[in-house]
Amino acid sequence: MQKRKNLILENTKIRNLVRKYLIFLILIVLLIVGHLSDPMFITLRNQKNIMLNFSVPFILSIGQTMVILTGGIDLSIGSVVSLTGVTLAFILPKTGILLGVIIVLLMGGAIGALNGYIISRFKILPFLVTLSSMIVYEGLAFIVTGSVPVPITIPAFYKIDYGSIFGVIPLPVIYSAITFILSVIFLNYHVIGRRVYQLGNDEKTAKLAGIKVNRLKIGIYMLNGFIAAFCGIIVASRIKLGAPTAGKGFLFDSIAAVCLGGTSLMGGQGGVIGTLGGMLLMVNLKNILVLNDVSIYIQDAIRGVIILISVIALSKAR
Amino acid sequence: MIEVGQNYYIEMKSIVKRFTATLALDHVDFFVNKGEIHCLVGENGAGKSTLMKIMSGVIQPDEGKIFVGGTRVKIDHPSIAHRLSISLIPQELNLLPTLTVGENVFLGLEPKNSLGFINWEELHRKTENQIYQEFGIKINSRALISDLSVAQKQLVMVARALQWGSKILILDEPTARLSKEEIKMLFEIVKSFREKGGTVIYISHHLEEVKEIGDRITIFRDGKRIITEKVQNLSLDKIIEYMIGKKRTTRTSLTKLVKHDENSKKKLLEVRGMLNKKVRNINLGVYEGEIVALAGVTGSGRSEIARAICGIDTREKGEIKLMGKKVKIRNPVDAIRNGIIYVPEDRKSQGIFLKMSVCKNLLLNKKTLEDLSTLNFYLMRVFKSTAQKFVELLNIVIPSLDAPCLSLSGGNQQKVLLGKWLTTNPTVIILDEPTRGIDVGVKFEFYEIIKKLAKEHRKGIILISSELSEIIKLSDRILILKKGRIVRAYLNKNLSEAKLLNLITTVEVENETKH
C-alpha cells in the first residue's frame, strides 16, 4: 500500500516536472532546427544579438508573470515604456542622469500603484483598468511630444544600454539576469512572493487567512510599473530618443511569453522560469526567421501559428 | 454589565433569521459542550446550515445572542469566528489547489526569518510531523493539493484549522463524496481531534454515521430546534420521527394515483447498464404516464444519473432505448432531439431573458424554433398560438404574450422557465429539484402541472428531489440511490415519509440489483 502511494507520488512528480519544463524541450528542438537551417545561428555574434533583443522584453515579461500569477493582467506596460522615454528626454538636461532615472522609476511605480488601487478599491477587472491606462499614457506621450520623437543628447546616458562587462556580456543581459534571479528568489522563498500565488489561487481563502489582499495587489502592480519604467530607461538609452511609439509591441510579446511558459491566465500557477523559456522561444524564433530571409509579413504569421501550436501542445501536456 | 452565559461552551440563544418571506430560523436555542461531537440533523431546509453559517460569521442573525466560553460575542465576519477559534469546513473545501500541502496548512502563518524569507524545510517537516502525531497518518507535505483525494484534502483542512488554533470544528456533510475507508479515516481524525479537547459540530444526512460518531444530537425541523439529546438515548426511528414530525407522516393525497400496470403501458425510456465515474451499473425504465422518483441523500448520484442519461456527463458503458428503439445520445442536443429533456436544478443561471417577451422566452430554443419555422422563416402567428398553448397548460398569469418577463411575478417566471423546456415536445422529462426556491403557493401549482404532464399528456417523468414529501406526493415508483447505485425500488404505496427517510439514510449498498 505504502509502496503504491509512493509510486503515485513519483509519477505526479515526473508529470509536474514535464508540465513545468516542457517549453524548454520545445526550445531545444527549435535551436536544433535553427542550427540546421543556418550555421550562422549559433555563433557568438548572433547569440549576443539575440540576447540583446531578448533582455528588455524578458524583464517586462517577468513583471507581467507576477501580475498574471495574482490572476490579473497589465496591458499598460508598453505605454509606460514609451512615456518613461519621453519624460526622460525632457527632464534629463535639467536633472542629470541619476535624479532623472529616479524620477521616472518613481513615476512608473506610481502609475502601477494607481492601476492596482483602482483594481482593488473599485473591484474592476484588471483588463479594463489597464486597458484604459494603456490608452491614457500612450496618449499622454503623444501629447507632450506632439508625436515627434525628442532626441536625448547626453552621451553618458547611452552607457546604460551600450556598456558591457568584460567587454563581452552586454549590460542589458546583466540587468535581465539579475531581475530573473531576484524574481525567482522572491516568488519561491519570500513570504510576499508566496502571497502572490495564494491570492491567485483563491482570493477568498487568502483573505480568510488574514492576507491583506488589496495591499498586495497594489504592491504587485506598483512593482510591475516600476519594472516597466526600468525597461523604458534601457530602451530610451538604446534608441537615444524619447519616442511615443517606443513601447509598441512589447505588450504582446510579454503576454505570449508568460502563456508559453505555462503560467495560467487564471492565476496561481506557473512562474518566471517558464517565462524564461517562453521568451527565449519567441526571440530565437524571430531570429531564425530573419536569418532565413523570411519576409517580415510572413514572419508574423509564422510566429503566430507556432505560438498557437506550442500553446495547444502545452495545454494538452498539462 | 457583561452578560454571562451558562456552563456550555457555545450558546446560541433565541436565534432568528428571516430570508425575505420565509423564517429560516425560528427562535432557535443551541448549546454545545466543550469536547463533544455534536451532530446536527434535519431535512433539507430545516435550518441547520443556516445556523452554522451564523456561527461561522458568513451570515448575520436578525435576532439572538451568542456566547462562546461564557462571554457574549458578535460574529459579524468570518475573521471574527476565526479569532474565536471556530473553523467551518464546508463541502466545497477552500484549499489552494496548485500549492503544496504544507503551504496550505501554514497559510498565513508560514515560518519565516526577519527578512520575510520562508523556511521551507521547517514548514514541511512541521506539517508532516504534526499530521503524523495528531492523526497517525503519513502524508507528503510537498504533494500538491490537486493530486490529493477528497479525504486527504479534508485532512489538510483539519490540520490547517489546528494550525490556526481552532477549538471548534464545523463539518458540513463531510462524507458526501467519500468511500467507506475514507469515512473511517475521517472518523479517526475527528475523534482524535476530540481527544485533544476539540469540539466538533457535525452535520450529516447519514444517520448511521451520526449513531457511530456523535456524542449528542440536535434535531431541526422547519427552522425550529426540536430536541437535543444524547445520541445513545435515541433510536434511529425516533430520530427520523423527530426529523419529520408526527403530523406529516400520514400521506397527503393530492391527486389520486393511477394504478401502475407495467404490461399495459408503453415503455418510454429504458436505460441498461449505464456506467461512468459517478454512477454504477444503472438500469431503469420509465413508462408512459409514470412519475419515477430518484431518492437519496446529497451526493448519492441523483443528478449524476440524469446528467449521464442526457449526455452531459460521458457514459463509459450502457445503452439507452427510447420507445423500444436504441438511440445515440452523446450530448444534450441529441437528448433534446430525441425527446429527453433535463430541467436542471440551477434554473436561475440557465437564465430567463427578463427584458424579452413571454412568447419569445417560451420558444427560445433551437429545436422549437426549427419545428415551428419553414426554411428558417418564422411566422409570428404560429409562434403566438404555440406559446398560448403552453401558457394555458402551465397556467401562467400574464397581461399579454408580448409582456416582458420582467413584469411577471417570481412564480410565473419559474413557470416560463419550465415552459421553455416543455416546448421542445419531449417524451421523457427529467426534473431536478423542480420546486426548489419557490414559495409554497406556486409549489402546489407545480405539483398539479407535473401530475398533469404525466397523467393527461402521457409523458414519462423522472423526478429528482430532496423533499421527501414531494416524492411521496407525486411519484408512482421510487428508486433509492446510494453512492451512485440504485439499491432498492419501491412502488409508492403506503410509503410514509419516515419510512422513506429511513430507507435513503440507512439502506446499505448491495451488489447487483435489478429494476
Query: Are residues B356 and B269 located together in one domain of the fold?
Result: no
Give the sign of the dihedral formed by CA A234, CA A237, CA A240, CA A241: positive
Instruction: Tell me which of B363, B398, B425 is where a domain ends.
Output: B425
> Which among A2, A194, A202 has CB closest to B94?
A202
Q: Is the Cβ pair A205, B116 closer than 8 Å?
A: no
| Probe site for chain A from B94, B153, B181 (most A CB atoms < 10 A) | B94
Q: How far apart, in whole angstroms, are the C-alpha atoms of residue A93 and residue A74? A: 31
pLDDT of residue A239: 94
Amino acid at B119: N
Q: pLDDT (tens digit, 9 = 90+) per residue, B308-350?
A: 998 888 888 888 888 888 888 888 888 888 889 888 776 555 5
Instruction: Tell me which of B371, B403, B425 is where a domain ends.
Output: B425
Total number of domains constituting chain A: 1
More confident residue, B48 or B261: B48
Q: Considering the domain boundaries, does residue B254 fall inside one?
A: no
Q: Considering the domain boundaries, does residue B166 fall inside one?
A: yes
Q: Considering the domain boundaries, does residue B368 fall inside one?
A: yes
Mean pLDDT of B202-216: 87
More confident residue, B254 or A173: A173
The three grid cell numbers given for residue A181, joined into one nine-digit string: 534571479
Q: Give the CA distances from residue A24 to residues A28, A32, A41, A58, A180, in Å, rounded to whole numbers and listed in that order.
A: 6, 12, 18, 16, 16
Q: Tally Cβ neighbours within 10 Å of residue B439.
A: 14
What DSSP letter does each residue of B117-174 carry, written as one string? Answer: BB-HHHHHHHHHHHHHHHH-----TTSBGGGS-HHHHHHHHHHHHHHTT-SEEEEEST
Query: Are residues B280 and B383 located together in one domain of the fold?
Result: no
Mean pLDDT of B241-261: 50
pLDDT of residue A2: 46
* Residues of B engaging A, defined by a Cβ cutoff of 8 Å: 78-79, 82, 94-99, 103, 107-108, 110, 112, 115-118, 120, 138, 140, 143-144, 147
Helices (H), B364-409: 366-372, 380-394
More confident residue, B371 or A262: A262
Question: Is the pLDDT reported for residue B4 higher than 60?
Answer: no
Bridging pattern class, strands B37-42 and B10-19: unpaired
pLDDT of residue B440: 64
Q: Considering the domain boundaries, does residue B252 fall inside one?
A: no
CATH number at residue B110: 3.40.50.300
Query: Are residues B189 and B92 located together in one domain of the fold?
Result: yes
The three grid cell numbers given for residue A148, joined into one nine-digit string: 515627434
Query: Are residues B312 and B367 located together in one domain of the fold?
Result: no
Q: Is the Cβ pair A211, B117 closer than 8 Å?
A: no
Task: Determine the distance in angstroms separating the CA of B101 from the nearest CA of chain A, rounded to an integer.
Answer: 13
Q: Is the Cβ pair B96, A204 closer than 8 Å?
A: no
Q: Considering the domain boundaries, does residue B481 fall inside one?
A: yes
pLDDT of residue B37: 94
Q: pLDDT (tens digit, 9 = 90+) per residue, B436-449?
A: 766 666 777 888 88
| Probe site for chain A from B107, B142, B149 (most A CB atoms < 10 A) | B107
Q: Is the Cβ pair B147, A208 closer than 8 Å?
A: no
Mean pLDDT of B262-276: 78
Domain that holds residue B268: 264-339+428-515
Q: Is the Cβ pair A197, B99 closer than 8 Å?
A: yes
Q: Is the Cβ pair A191, B144 closer than 8 Å?
A: no
Helices (H), chain A: 2-37, 44-69, 77-95, 97-122, 126-145, 155-162, 171-189, 191-201, 203-208, 213-239, 250-260, 272-291, 296-317
Query: Are residues B407 and B480 located together in one domain of the fold?
Result: no
What are the b/e assignments for B39-51, b being 16+ CB within 10 Å? bbbbbebbbbbbb
Task: Determine the distance in angstroms separating the CA of A257 from the nearest CA of chain B, rounded to an integer.
Answer: 21
More confident residue, A17 or B61: B61
Domain that holds residue A276: 52-317
**pLDDT-based confidence at B252, cuts 50/70/90?**
very low
> Which among A194, A208, A269 has CB closest to B110?
A194
Query: Are residues B185 and B99 located together in one domain of the fold?
Result: yes
Q: Is the Cβ pair A194, B147 closer than 8 Å?
A: no
pLDDT of residue B439: 64
pLDDT of residue B262: 47
Total number of domains constituting chain B: 3
> Which among B78, B118, B138 has CB closest to A189?
B118
Predicted confidence pLDDT, tens digits, chain A (318 residues): 444 455 455 666 676 677 677 889 889 999 999 999 988 898 888 988 899 999 999 999 999 999 999 999 999 999 999 999 999 999 999 999 999 999 999 999 999 999 999 999 999 999 999 999 999 999 999 999 998 999 999 999 999 998 888 877 899 999 999 999 999 999 999 999 999 999 999 898 888 788 889 999 999 999 999 999 999 999 999 999 999 999 988 998 999 999 989 888 888 989 999 999 999 999 999 999 999 998 888 988 988 888 888 778 777 765
Instruction: Tell me which of B212, B247, B282 is where a domain ends.
Output: B247
Residues 6 or more apart whose CB falls under 8 angstroms from that of B233 comprise none
> Which among A192, A194, A208 has CB closest to B103?
A194
Percent of chain B at pLDDT > 90 equals 16
Task: Determine the distance in angstroms separating the CA of A185 from the nearest CA of chain B, rounded to an integer.
Answer: 9
Query: Are residues B322 and B211 located together in one domain of the fold?
Result: no
**pLDDT-based confidence at B250, cuts 50/70/90?**
very low
ipTM of the complex: 0.83
Q: Tally Cβ neighbours within 10 Å of residue B280.
A: 15
Residue of B nearest to A11 (CA): B147
Question: Is the pLDDT reported for residue B418 higher than 80?
Answer: yes
Q: Considering the domain boundaries, does residue B258 fall inside one?
A: no
Q: Considering the domain boundaries, does residue B256 fall inside one?
A: no
Bridging pattern class, strands B267-275 and B317-322: antiparallel
Contact list in B for residue A4 (CB cut-off 8 A) is none
The three grid cell numbers given for residue B254, joined into one nine-digit string: 393530492
Average per-residue pLDDT in chain B? 82
Contact list in B for residue A16 (CB cut-off 8 A) is 144
